[in-house]
Amino acid sequence: MDIKHICCIGAGYVGGPTMAVIAQKCPHINVTVVDINEKRIAAWNDEDLSKLPVYEPGLDKVVEEARGRNLFFSTEVDKAIDAADMIFISVNTPTKTYGKGKGMAADLKYIELCARQIARVATSDKIVIEKSTLPVRTASAIKSILDNTGNGSEVKFQILSNPEFLAEGTAIEDLLDPDRVLIGGDTSTAEGKKAIQALASVYANWVPQKQILTTNVWSSELSKLTANAFLAQRVSSINSLSELCEKTEADVNEVAKAIGMDSRIGSKFLKASVGFGGSCFQKDILNLVYIAKTYGLNEVADYWEQVIIMNDHQKRRFAHNIISTLFNTVSGKKIAFLGWAFKKDTNDTRESAAIYVADELLNEQSKVAVYDPKVSEEQMYADLDYLNTRSSEENREGVSVFNNPYEACKDAHAIAVLTEWDEFKTYDWQKLYDQMQKPAFLFDGRGILDTDALEKIGFVCYKIGSGK
């Protein structure tokens, strides 16, 4: 089957970059990314590439090359659905905030709306692809909707699972050179196999055949949740040991290096931190825990839930350490945050550890001053308001946002590094020190600074997982 038109529903952190790369690598395919969020689509169409709604190194170049040629961003969802041979569903699947499964299960209402819309609009056969991260067995619900809520025309649908493994900050590299592309489908029928082949041939334009893995649809759906659970579990494992290192004069970076050189363990994802953030690790593990519980697998659920419990502990512990180090009171004291994003090289702040550390400090009446190279002031306030801990006015009173790090740190009692932005390493730390209250405390939540050199300047340093 020759794919000529692709539609992607959802122009977010996954839909936008993923489709931009498909369009760049497949100039013979027209790719239209649609979204109901008009502001987002307008930003994707902005002439000024620095205004794209997603910040990712290299994304602007890819968009510049393909946009207007075979890559289009639009709010005309129905039109794009009907024109497409292949439709990616890449909408958000957040944790439910209401009803059964509140706080754990994935909220699938946006997925269901997409399936109903496709069924209503389609007048020709379509391959429908789950790009969003979904609970295992969602494809059966999508199939049921597509097959039973149609518009009367004899349209046939094939459903595939094609989870996305890109990480933010390295999305373009990850898309151009993925470890693997996973495609799950109905391997028991000729039509199912044909659909799998059609999608595989899109990726084959730039991904080597041996890295395109095909499985049954349930394995594919479950592999995505499993991959995120394993990655997050490594971070929680090393973070749990960072606390033990602090008590025993061991150094977590040395421990990580020593174990990571064992090829069975591997060296990646062993960086101790203030806690993992991002829109997916917590959401996907909670989803896994919920699924296990619905099958009565309580030991399985408890095992994975511990990853989240440890992460919450790590964020809280970092904040409490600041408070206790500052003589048990931060009331009225200025604490400067370097970084608000959940990791470097992204403007995404979803579930960022910085939000929770700020919340704990605000509870103690601290004044928080934030500098982040890519996150807007309104985003920071929106993140705090979303927690509902205090009024919006109180959040604005407690937190001030700066677009210059030196201003943010002026007269601060402490600096806390919450994101590992490279630029933080290049600052004039003597100048920062000179402007601060004394003793000048520094809490490196990312282990990126040379604390020995900073101590020589006069800083009193705390480094995650360092017991000295």
Binding residues for ligand UGA (CB under 6 A): 133, 164-168, 228, 231, 235, 269-271, 273, 276-281, 342-343
Any idea what the Cα angle at residue 26 is, between residues 20 and 32, rounded to 5°?
Answer: 45
Does position 375 interact with ligand NAD (CB under 6 A)? The reply is no
Helix (H), strand (E), coil (C) string for 55-120: CCCCHHHHHHHHECCCEEEECCHHHHHHHCCEEEECCCCCECCCCCCCCCCECCHHHHHHHHHHHH
**Alpha-carbon torsion (387, 393, 399, 401), positive or negative:** positive
Residue 246: contacted member of ligand UGA, ligand NAD, none (CB under 5 to 8 Å, by partner type): none
Dihedrals φ, ψ of 31, to 5°?
A: -120, 120
Cα 281 to its chain centre, rounded Å, is: 7
Nearest to 191 by CA among 1, 48, 425: 1
Q: Is 369 helix (H, G, I), strand (E, B) or coil?
A: strand
Q: Which residue's CB comes closest to ligand NAD?
A: 12
Query: What x-and-dash track marks residues 219-248 binding ligand NAD by CB under 6 A?
Result: ------------------------------
Q: Residue 96 or residue 350: which is nearer to ligand UGA going by CB? A: 350
Does position 314 interact with ligand NAD (CB under 6 A)? The reply is no
- Element holding 214 (H helix, E strand): strand 212-216
For the chain, how far is it from start to end, CA to CA, in angstroms? 63
Nearest to 275 by CA among 415, 460, 399, 447: 447
Task: Name the segment binding ligand NAD (CB under 6 A); options: 91-99, 208-216, 337-345, 366-374.
Answer: 91-99
Tokens of 72: 């289009």
Residue 155: contacted member of ligand NAD, ligand UGA, none (CB under 5 to 8 Å, by partner type): none
Pick one of 3, 37, 194, 376: the residue that binds ligand NAD (CB under 6 A): 37
- Element holding 140 (H helix, E strand): helix 138-148
Q: Residue 273 or residue 395: which is nearer to ligand UGA going by CB? A: 273
Residue 89: contacted member of ligand UGA, ligand NAD, none (CB under 5 to 8 Å, by partner type): none
Does position 9 interact with ligand NAD (CB under 6 A)? The reply is yes
Task: Name the segment binding ligand NAD (CB under 6 A); options: 87-95, 213-221, 253-261, 433-441.
Answer: 87-95
Shortest Å, Cβ 243 to ligand NAD: 28
Q: Residue 117 or residue 419: which is nearer to ligand UGA going by CB? A: 419
Tokens of 178: 């993925």
Catalytic residue among 7, 8, 26, 280: 280
Q: Is 128 helix (H, G, I), strand (E, B) or coil?
A: strand
Nearest to 297 by CA among 306, 288, 286: 288
Pick one of 91, 368, 408, 448: the residue that binds ligand NAD (CB under 6 A): 91
Q: Residue 280 or residue 440: which is nearer to ligand UGA going by CB? A: 280
Q: Residue 32 or residue 233: which is nearer to ligand NAD going by CB? A: 32
DSSP states of 138-176:
HHHHHHHHHHHS--SS---EEEEE------TTSHHHHHH
Does position 12 interact with ligand NAD (CB under 6 A)? The reply is yes
Task: Name the segment binding ligand NAD (CB under 6 A); options: 11-19, 238-246, 308-316, 367-375.
Answer: 11-19
Residue 206: contacted member of ligand UGA, ligand NAD, none (CB under 5 to 8 Å, by partner type): none
321 in Cβ contact with 407 (< 8 Å): no
Shortest Å, Cβ 226 to ligand UGA: 11
Pick one of 181, 280, 432, 464: the residue that binds ligand NAD (CB under 6 A): 280
Q: Residue 32 or residue 451: which is nearer to ligand NAD going by CB? A: 32
178 in Cβ contact with 207 (< 8 Å): yes
Shortest Å, Cβ 159 to ligand NAD: 16
Does position 72 interact with ligand NAD (CB under 6 A)? The reply is no
Residue 235: contacted member of ligand NAD, ligand UGA, none (CB under 5 to 8 Å, by partner type): ligand UGA
Task: Name the amino acid, one letter, at 99.
Answer: G
Any idea what the Cα angle at residue 164 is, between residues 6 and 79, rounded to 5°?
Answer: 25
Site residues (CB under 6 A) for ligand NAD, limited to 122-181: 132-133, 164, 166, 168
For residue 290, what is the DSSP state? Answer: H
Tokens of 357: 């550390």
The total of other beta-carbon atoms located within 10 Å of residue 299's CB is 7
What gap in Å lies between CA 330 and CA 342, rounded to an integer? 24
Residue 236: contacted member of ligand NAD, ligand UGA, none (CB under 5 to 8 Å, by partner type): none
Residue 96: contacted member of ligand UGA, ligand NAD, none (CB under 5 to 8 Å, by partner type): none
Q: Is 26 a catalytic residue?
A: no
Residues that bind ligand NAD (CB under 6 A): 9-15, 34-37, 40, 77, 90-93, 110, 113-114, 132-133, 164, 166, 168, 279-280
Active-site amino acid positions: 280
